Structure 1
Amino acid sequence: MYTSINPQLKSKFFVSPAEIRRAIYVHFIPDQIHLFLHKKGLGLSACVQRDKDGHPNCIERCSSTYPLTYPPASCSIYTLRLRSSWGSHWRCEESVKTDGNITAEALLLACKRMCIDVVEMMADIAVFQINDLDMLRILVLHSSVLKPGRSSTFASTFLSCVLPSLKELHISLRLSLSIYGALENAGNSTGSESSSMDHSISAWTGLRPAIERLGNLRRLRIWLDHGEPCSWSMVNERAVLSPLAPLSNNPNLDISIDLPKLHPKWENPDRHFTEDSPPLTLTIHRRYRQRYHGVESSDGSIDAKHDPDFPILYEVADLYYMTMEIVEEMERASWQRGEDPIKEFLDDSIVCSLPTI
């Protein structure tokens, strides 16, 4: 298959059984690997996300030096984490900027034979994570050339080995509203968009055919959000996600899409996948969106702002020993009546607390 690769038959390591080599490699390969671009080309980093890193109250993003002042409105580390384009993988983004490479990368640089061995095993046992459109565009471009062979760059060699065998791919994108707007109008493009916006559009619109070319892919997870404090409901979900619907025709591919919950005041069956509108043929999971945001002030400073999406009564569940289902139902009914759910809840609480005469 790789006729141009020296088989390294003089090496005792490579004449040993493949099972032994794989047993050694597995100790150096993380369960999840982020792919990202930097000035030197393609980078690989282990996923270090923790269970509560995506908690809507953003508690884990607080620096350990601010344990008693949550939320620390002026803590630069905290506000930068709130603005991370990697979303709930903000810890992984920090790791990339500090530690960077995974241990296995040393094996990739040893020789081409070992590189191919390790990369093919990565594709077989690891989950690959993509967190920005630039990296997604590179994947889309390389998916059309899946034949391994001579290559002038590490990125090309790596992806030509990984993609044909890739089993699981996670895509987490926290994009600007302007990009979502461009994706919504991609079919009506006038050609006047900037080159960077064109690249963003092509990365997303090329995703479906790219996935269809990955014949061994068995699981695809897509996580989406935008980077503004306003509601997720400002995004036209149908325009963005409907092009992916044909992927449901592949019975061997398990696909799920993770989206923030819709706000009852802004949800629209023409723009969103609501309970009463035609569903997407792909599985959608709804989550609570982060409730604190890093907002840039006029003087350039970044402060934390509490600007929650639905349900705004999220904290009520713990304070009043209510289930989130009841809180959501109560708030949804309030919005549908055109009322302010906070005012209604406070008024009801006052009435309920009055003594019976």
Structure 2
Amino acid sequence: MDPQQSSRLFALPWELRRAIYRDLMSDIDGAHISFNPRSGLFWSPCLGANDDSMRQSSRPIYHNGPLEDFSSAWVERMSSDWGCHWQCEEEARSSADLCGESRCCSRMHYEYVTVMMEHGSIHVTDLAVLEHLVGSPVSRVPAGTPSMGRQQDIIGSNDLFFGLRTLDISLRLNLAFFVALDASAPDDRAVDVTGRPESETETVGAARVRLVSHLAIWKRLPQVLGSFPLLIQTDIRLDHDDVLPWALINEHAVFKEFGQPNSCYQTQVDVTLPLLLPSGLADPTRHLMVGVMENIGPGFRIHRQRRFPYVVAKNATGWDMIRTCYDREFSHANSLDEYLDELRLYGTPLQDPDELHPEISFGPHLLDELLNWRPPAEGNEEIVYEDLPS
């Protein structure tokens, strides 16, 4: 990197340059990184996570119907891969790159991003950006950098993310990804799970290559977190984009790599997963318990929250639909019969478990949970049922 010795800006002490950068980003509490294959990384402001609202742009609708019956803005919010950061995705579409002006000079760009990482959390909401982090190991002390303390290491680093302090990962992924993590052998080539095409132009073969690549990215994440010397906090929020319940997911398989002896992360990791309700039916062989998971790591903690109750999907005839997810994890799913009826309308007969989802193995514990669950007795404070508005 050119040190730009003749620049008046870089003639100033680092403390003054940092103050200038902070003044430029005074209204920014955090930033999202998205990835464009043509232009590279794009930085946009974070407005905060929001799944308390229904994401509606008009009066909320609680029944099935063709997409044209709904506001297009609401449909986009339902299907947002950014999950609870759907507002941030909308903001990113209309905002300029937060780091745009700093790109005129490589050194200024590195310093600007470094100060942004001091100033707030860095948010990642897709695996493309996570791949960028995973694929670029950090060099703790770049070659030729004078050893003048940790700050000098940061501003002289050739790696953009050397100064990363707080990382927030929110991923709403295809169910096939989680199923593949459960089914995968040590050799990823042995994974016998086909990824689902994400567009009409993507072939099944390309989808499988993408899926295997995503599995490799996720499995390398714990080691990569350990390569950021200043990282002190990592928040991970996961969900899938299917109508089927979260109880299908083998959480031990999802976080297996975090508990491996070769995982070198030292950061505090807080993981937020969908609720497993009723909690008494959670399977300890598949699901993680709330609290600190010492068997995974001393700084690894599990939290639970309700899932957002709507998805955008396609039914058997190809019509795009917005459908209520009748799942025992949702506060308004006060009857499993409604959930089962919904699956049958979707062309998914629950009576034959193998047809419910072809790539999922339904164990006896989960079948018992699906077929025998009933609402809890009155007075159970863990689950609150709400009447649907008329």
TM norm structure 2:
0.68
**Match runs of 1:324-335 below 5 Å:** none
Distance (whole Å) between structure 2 residues aligned to residue 263 and residue 289 of structure 1: 11
**Structure 2: runs of 5 or more not aligned:** 145-154, 192-207, 335-368, 379-390
Query: Which residue, 278, 282, 286 being the options, matches 1:271?
Result: 286
2:76 maps to 1:80: yes
Q: After superposition, what is the alpha-carbon deviation per residue over 1:257-282, rounded to whole angstroms, capped at 9, x for unaligned?
A: 01001134963221112479996542
Q: Secondary structure at the match of 1:239?
A: helix
Q: CA deviation at 1:149?
A: 7.3
Output one character per residue of 1:4-60: Cα deviation in whole Å (capped at 9) or x when no partner.
413333x33322232222112113333211112113242233334346x212xx42x
**Hey, which of these two has a bigger chunk of helix by percent?**
1
1:309, 1:337 → 2: CA distance? Answer: 12
Secondary structure of the 1:49 match is coil
CA-to-partner distance for each residue in 1:115-139, whole Å, 9 max, x for gaps? 2321222233231111111211221
Alignment of 1:41-80 (within 5 A): 41-50=39-48, 53-55=50-52, 58-59=53-54, 61-63=55-57, 66=58, 68-71=59-62, 74-80=70-76
Residue identity in the other structure for 1:244: F
- RMSD of aligned C-alpha atoms? 3.6
Matched residue, 1:139: 133
Which of the numbers 112, 121, 127 marks the counterpart of 1:118?
112
1:249-264 aligned at under 5 Å gives the runs: 253-264=267-278
Structure 1 residues 163 and 228: alpha-carbon distance in aligned structure 2, compared to 1, 3 A threshold: same
Question: Structure 1 residues 179, 171: closer, same or farther in 2, change over 3 A?
Answer: same
Which residue of the other structure, out of 101, 105, 127, is the alignment partner of 2:100?
A: 105
1:158–1:301 distance in 2 versus 1, CA, 3 Å: farther
- Give the Cα–Cα distance (whole angstroms) in 2 for the partners of residues 20 and 168 of structure 1: 23
| Equivalent of 2:4 in 7, 13, 17 | 7
Spell out the pairing of 1:171-210 with structure 2 (5 A cutoff).
Answer: 171-189=169-187, 191=189, 194-210=208-224
Question: 2:81 is paired with a residue of what secondary structure?
Answer: coil
Helix, strand or coil at the partner of 1:143: coil
Instruction: Name the CA distance, whole Å, in 2 between partners of 1:339 and 1:315.
Output: 11
Tell me the residue number matched to 2:195: none
Confirm or deny: 8 A CA contact 1:268 1:274 kept in the other structure: no
For structure 1, which runs of at least 5 residues remain unmatched after alignment? 151-156, 317-334, 346-357
Question: 1:306 corresponds to which residue?
Answer: 324
For the residue of structure 2 that corresponds to 1:161, the secondary structure is coil
- Relative distance call for 1:168 and 1:274 in structure 2 (3 A) is closer
Q: Runs ≥4 in structure 1, deviation > 6 angstroms?
A: 247-251, 275-279
Deviation per residue, 1:62-87 (Å, 9 max, x gap): 11xx2x35458622221221111111
Report deviation, 1:99.
2.4
